[in-house]
Chains A and B, each alone.
Chain A
Amino acid sequence: MSATLRSFDVTVIREDFPILKQQVHGKPLVFLDSAASAQKPRAVIDAMRHVMEAQYANVHRGLHYMSEKTSDAFEAVRDKVAAFINAASRDEIVFTRNATESINLVAYTWGRTALRPGDAVAVSEMEHHANLVPWQMLRDAHGTDLRIIKITDAGEIDFDSLEQVFADGKVKLLAVTQMSNVLGSYTPVERLAKFAHERGAKILVDGCQAIVHRHVDVQAIGADFYAFSGHKLYGPTGIGVLYGKRELLEAMPPFMGGGEMIGHVTYEKSTWAKPPFRFEAGTPAIIETIGLGAAIDYVRGIGFEAIAAHEHELTEHALATLGNIEGVNIIGHAQDRGGVISFTMRHAHPHDIATLLDRQGIAVRAGHHCAEPLMGRMGVTGTARASFGMYTTPEEIDALAKGLLRIKQVFA
């Protein structure tokens, strides 16, 4: 680990997250729902407060001090994001509201111009609705085909199925998650990118979950598009990112029309700005973008090596501990997996588990996790899900296990 990085101490990390001191129903908060949205460190809160208190105006428009300063701070985040995911250029970074908007942007603009009716988009069985529904909408509006790549029972991409789906050469886009928000599986995105490219297809990677836990290098992956949300990466809501290779973005028409995204406007017609501005119509989420910049600084300051090592220990501990509780069934057993663990429990419905854990101050999520078809694929109607962040402790996992044992007694 490099000397500039802080050595990893979870109790010190926790001090950075003010909300972790809260009590819920008179018990210390045990927050095991970071995959839905992560808590925010003081650095992010302070950065956003600072913008509003000391350095705020609209960006790219005013010829005055505050606007210049705010534009600089805002655009500096584009550089930060580009460096964070190793994009070749800052112009490949488009700010959106969230990953959902990023994927919809690609489906709507690239999908309707680069794809022709009869071309196919392939997604896996374990996609979040955000990487399924936009392709269904494109299919219905534009006549493209939508194909589903099977996963194995362990929760890994089934390469035989992948071959089959691509066999007739019609697939022009592989849209796939880098980490399942239900099963915790990572997908081999480098291998998938190579596979797609060898067959003349592009690849869109949904990095929402993975980018929180691992260092991401879009060039090493070979991603054509990469999408993620700020709020899962310890940043604020309302800011997301779409990375797109320059030549792809340049060929794409705008998503929405309005200010910022134009070159020249007359009453009759307009020309479009270059990427990324072409895709950023209207006043952006200025405060949130600056908050995302602070989140990236914070995460880089700790370093993915340390974060990944800590989370790996947590995951191993959780799999062993929960796996030992008779009646608990963990859904998904991928070799390469992270700190997102879905489970069911005999005699206890996921919603009952979540509410009963909440009584003990423990926050988990229950339901289909925006992956309804995947529930059917795994043979369940829903699951309870515990997910970890860099601030999660082994003691919190023990608290979860204890909570589950109590629930088991209630329903036994």
Chain B
Amino acid sequence: MSDPYQALIVERHKHPLHAGRPAQFDAEGEGANPICGDKVHVYLRRAGMDVHYEAQGCAILSASADLMADAVAGKTAEQIAQLSRDFETLLTTGRENPALGGLNALAGLAAYSSRIRCATLPWSALAEALHHV
């Protein structure tokens, strides 16, 4: 079983590439987990599917949001929906999928079903943002 805290996760948690509220955006969405009080707010710029976010929560949540922003950049809404499904499969099976790139770093969560929600929260926030554009 792979470690749920691979170097990439810790790295993106400590030094995120897409964190913060951008000056301009077309849509936004929020994901909250009432069980732990963690929250993520996603900002979407339609051109190039440029995603930024503000996260309040654990390392899995913020790293997952950061890696999500990498993964969806330049994709279409349909491609993003497919990525989101593939990502959920990764989290439930733990089997890596080349199409997921850096998101594969989260495969180890398959052994921690109670933590899967931390990783999927940014994706529900993004789905909400996409719904509004």
Contact = CB atoms under 8 A, between A and B. Distances in A.
Contacts of A356: 5
Nearest to B34: A372
B3 A359 contact: yes
A129 to B, nearest CB: 13
B133 interface: no
Contacts of B94: none
Contacts of B59: 348-349, 352, 411
Interface in B116-132: 118
Interface residues of A, number: 16
Interface in B90-121: 112, 115, 118
Contacts of A350: 58
Interface string A337-373: 0000000000011111001101100000001100000
A128 to B, nearest CB: 16
A382 B37 contact: yes
B35 interface: yes
A356 B108 CA distance: 12
A410 B37 contact: no
B58 A410 contact: no
B14 interface: yes
Contacts of B16: none
B10 A355 contact: no
Nearest to A380: B37
A109 interface: no
Given A351-B58, A355-B5, A355-B115, A410 B10 contact: yes
A329 interface: no
Interface string B1-20: 00111000010011000000
- Chain B interface extent, by class: 10 to 19
A411 B115 CA distance: 18
B49 interface: no
A381 interface: yes
Which secondary structure dominates chain A's binding surface?
Answer: helix
Interface in B54-69: 57-60
A278 B38 CA distance: 44
Contacts of A355: 4-5, 60, 112, 115
A368 B36 CA distance: 7
B14 to A, nearest CB: 7
A410 to B, nearest CB: 6
A367 B35 contact: yes
A410 B5 contact: yes
A352 B36 contact: no
Nearest to B109: A355
Given A355-B5, A355-B115, A367 B10 contact: no
B37 A411 contact: no
Contacts of B58: 349-352
Contacts of B115: 351, 355
A136 B117 CA distance: 29
Contact of A382 (B3, B10, B14, B36): B36
A381 B32 CA distance: 13
B121 to A, nearest CB: 12
Given A349-B59, A351-B58, A368 B37 contact: yes
A411 B36 contact: no
A381 B59 CA distance: 15
29 contacts: A349-B57, A349-B59, A350-B58, A351-B36, A351-B38, A351-B57, A351-B58, A351-B60, A351-B115, A351-B118, A352-B58, A352-B59, A352-B60, A355-B4, A355-B112, A355-B115, A356-B5, A359-B3, A359-B4, A367-B35, A367-B36, A368-B37, A375-B37, A381-B36, A381-B38, A382-B36, A410-B5, A411-B14, A411-B59
Given A349-B59, A368-B37, 7 more contacts: A349-B38, A356-B5, A359-B3, A367-B35, A368-B36, A411-B10, A411-B59
Interface of B: 3-5, 10, 13-14, 35-38, 57-60, 112, 115, 118
